[in-house]
Amino acid sequence: MAEAGIPTNQLKKNSLGVASITFMVVSAAAPLTGAAGGIPLSMLLGNGIGIPGTFLIVTAILLAFSVGYVAMSRHVKNAGAFYAFAAQGLGGHAGGAAALIAMLSYNAMQIGLMGLFGAAASGTFAQFGLDLPWYYWSYAAIAIIAVLGYRQVDLSAKVLMLLVLLEFAIVLLLDAVILVHGGASGLSLAPFAPSNIFSGTWSIGVLYCFAGFIGFEATTIYSEEARDAHITVPRATYFSVLAIGLFYSVTSWLMVMGIGMDQLMPTLSGMDPTTFLFLLGGTYLGEGLTVLMSILFVTSVFAALLAFHNAIARYIFVTGREGILPNAVGYTHAKHMSPHIGSVLQTLLALIFVTLFVVKDLDPVLALFSWLSQLGTLGVLGLMSLTSFSVIAFFGKNAMGETAFSTKVLPLITGVVMAVLFVKIFTDFGALTGAEGNLSWILPSLVLVAAVVGVLLASRLKSADPAKFGEMGKTKV
C-alpha cells in the first residue's frame, strides 16, 4: 500500500474482477467498430459470404492459443503480459524484444484508431449541426483519455463496461430483428460451408478476422490488479474470446442474411463498405435507432482507444520497473496507484503523431487508421507466435502439473499458425493497407526494428545489473 504522497512500483491490487477485465479487453476489440468497419471490408476484400464461418475457425484457433496462454498465466502474474511470458520462457533478450514490439503495436493501434474516431465523430455529429474537422474530435478524445488513464483503473473499467454494453445491445437488437424477419430472402447456413469459407481471397478474410480480436490477449496485463488472478484472468480470457468470436460470427451471418447472399457483393462493391451496417440499420431498425447506432459507433471507437491506452501505460510502467526503460517510468501514482507516467507518455505520443498526420494533411482513415492498425495487428500476431513458443520453453523446464497437450501440442500448432500469418501480413502489407512505395516495407519493418532495440536494451541491462536481468518477467503479485 502506498503512503500518502509517496510513489510506488506496485499497481492497485484487488481492483478488478472477471467482468471488469472482460469488458476492458472486449472494448479493445470494439465489437461495433468491427461490425461496422471490419466485417464489411473482410467480406469485400476477402471471401464474401464465407466470413461467418471464417470467424468460427479463427475463434477456434484463438481458443487453442488461449489454453497455453492461460496455463502460463497461472504461474507468471506480471502486468508485462507478452513481455513477461517471453522473458520467463525464452530469456531476458526475448523479453526485451517482446516489450518493445508490444509498445509499438499497441501505440500503433491506439494512435491509428484516433484517425477513425475523428472521422466517425466528425461525420456523425455534422448531422446535428456540429460540423468540425476530424482532428478536433481526436484531440478531444486524447484529452479525456489522458484524465481517465491517469486515474484509478476501476474508473476506466466502469466507463468501458457501460460503453461496451450499449454497443453490444444495439447490434444484437439489429441481429434479432433480421432473424425474426428471416432476412431478405430466408435464412441459410451456406456461409458456414467450407466451399464458401475458402472462396475468393480467403487469406485476407482470415487476416481481417484475426484483426477483429486484437485486444483480447490483454487479460494478463491486469493480472496484478485482478482479484484472485489465478481464477479471474483465465476466465476473462476464455470469456473474451468466446464473446468476441460468437458475436462476430452470428452478426456477420445475419448481415449476410439481411441483404441476401446474392446481393451482398454487388451492394458492398457499389458503396462505402463502412456504411453497410447502417444501411441494414435503416432497413430493419428505422432512422432513429440507426442514428443512435452511429453515435454508439463513435463511443465504440472511444472505448477501444481507452482500453489500448491503459494497456500501453502498463507496458511502459513494467519496462521501467524491470530496468529495460529508465527507472523513472516504473512508478505508479501515490494516490491512484495507476501507471500515470506511462499514461502521460502515451498521451504525448498520440498528440505528436496525430499532429504529424494533420500537418501532412493525410487522410485520417485511409492513412492514419489503415496503416497503423495493420502495423499493430502485425506486431501482436508476432507476439502471439513468440508467446506460444515461450509457453513450450517455460513448461519444458518443469510441467508444474500442466498437461503436455496444453503446454506443448496446442502452443506448437498456434505458434506456427501465427508465424505464418505474420509473414503473410508482412509481405502483403502494401496491398492490405494501401501504403505505397517505400512505406509498404518501412512500416512493417518497424516491428523488426523494435525487436532489435528491445534486445539491445536487454543486453544493456544484463551488463549493468545481471541480477535484475535474471529477474525479468517474474511474478509481481
CB 49 within 8 A of CB 207: no
According to the model, what pLDDT value does residue 5 have? 47
Residue 13 lies in a domain: no
C-alpha cell at 306: 481507452
> Residue 225 — pLDDT band, cuts 50, 70, 90?
low
Residue at 25 is within a domain: yes
Percent of the chain with pLDDT over 70: 88
Nearest to 141 by CA among 307, 316, 370: 307
b/e for 379-401, b at 16 or more Cβ within 10 A?
bbbbbbbbbbbbbbbbbeeeeee
Domain that holds residue 394: 18-470
pLDDT tens digits, one per residue of 272-304: 888 899 999 999 999 999 999 999 999 888 888
d(CA 429, CA 431): 6
* pLDDT at site 149: 77
Q: What is the DSSP letter of 325?
A: S
Residue 5 belongs to some domain of the structure: no
Tell me whether residue 78 is in a domain. Answer: yes
Q: Summarize pLDDT for 383-393 with one digit per residue, the tens.
A: 999 999 999 99
58, 211 Cβ separation under 8 angstroms: no
Residue 232 lies in a domain: yes
| Inter-CA distances, 157 with 19, 439, 472, Å | 9, 36, 28
Alpha helices, H only, 360-438? 370-397, 404, 410-427, 429-433
Cell of 323: 530496468
pLDDT at 229: 64
Farthest-apart Cα atoms in the chain, separation: 69
Predicted pLDDT at 1: 40
Answer whether residue 329 shows pLDDT above 90: no
Report d(CA 113, CA 100) in Å as an integer: 20
Q: Whole-angstrom Cα distance, residue 418 to residue 423?
A: 9
Residue 382 C-alpha from the chain's centroid = 13
Q: Report the number of distinct structural domains present in the chain.
A: 1
204: confidence class by pLDDT, cuts 50, 70, 90: confident
pLDDT in the model for residue 262? 95
7 within some domain: no
Average of pLDDT values for 9-30? 63
Of residues 52 and 232, which shows the higher confidence score?
52
For the chain, percent helix, then strand, then coil, each to nearest 5? 80, 0, 20
Whether the CB-CB separation of 98 and 121 falls below 8 Å is answered with no
Look at residue 3 and tell me if it is in a domain. no
Whole-prediction pTM: 0.87
pLDDT for the residue 336: 57
Residue 373 lies in a domain: yes
Half-sphere exposure of 223 (CA within 13 A, CB side): 32
CATH code of the domain covering residue 219:
1.20.1740.10
- Nine cell digits for residue 451: 525487436
